[in-house]
Structure 1
Amino acid sequence: MTDPRITLADIRDEPLSVDEVLAAVSDPQAGGVGLFVGVVRDHDHAKDVRGLEYSAHPSAIDELRKVASAVLDEGITKVAAVHRVGALEVGDVAVVVAVSAPHRGPALDACHRLIDDLKVRVPIWKHQSFADGSDEWVGL
């Protein structure tokens, strides 16, 4: 059974809403919210990025829930995380994670752990295309 404090854990092929994720962790008991928004940047490895595409294994949502569960402790109020798949352009939002807690320290610490663990454990792969015609897979 999923902890009810995980209010949002999803993989989507449509634009992400930071407001939706913030609303998902809103709570009258929470005095602090840690938020991370990952955006497609215009360069990587000193090369200009033309665009990228994310793909996910069918187990990605289940693994995302496990990663979210791992950051829950008594000091955490709510957790939310959404990652985008499909073709993205420079400036598009790729991932949004948020954690609320009564105080900022635990919220920020848990948010940091959440995004770091998501990047390592959730089976989502990035295929980058560069302006020079080369490409690379990340996360395989």
Structure 2
Amino acid sequence: MDFHTVPRHIPINTTILDLSSNNIALLHNETFMLLTKLRTLIIHTSRLRHIDVNAFKGLENLQNLDLSANFLDVGSLPMSVFNSTPNLLNLQLSDNTFSGEYPDKSLSFLSNLRSLSINGIRNGRFGDGFKYLKKLRDIAF
């Protein structure tokens, strides 16, 4: 596929949505608002550069999110971008363009997160946001 935006009219009972290998540079606010049953969202290798703060609004049941192999950095993830995904268990952020610092302020809202995959950052510092990830069991670099 060669989507430049998330397609409209996705059935509302969708539980798994794979948008991999597209050209979706931006996730707009309320993109997934009607997909309240979504449990897995995959946006792997889609040239994603920025996610609006309320892009994931409505995804309270989301458990797995794969944003790997894109062009995300700390500035791509507003502080409360994951506020609407309180039940997220697995997050894949590896193979992005993080450098200098980890997106700990954005991650701090993910108190139920169990597994995180992210690039290792040379001389990177784990910020205070990581202390809120009390259920985190696995970090893959």
Flag the structure with larger Rg: 1
User: Is TM > 0.5 for Structure 1 vs Structure 2?
Assistant: no
**Which has a greater percent of strand?**
1
Q: Report which structure shows greater RCO (CA 8 Å, sep ≥6).
A: 1
Provide TM-score, normalisation by structure 2. 0.29
Provide TM-score, normalisation by structure 1. 0.29
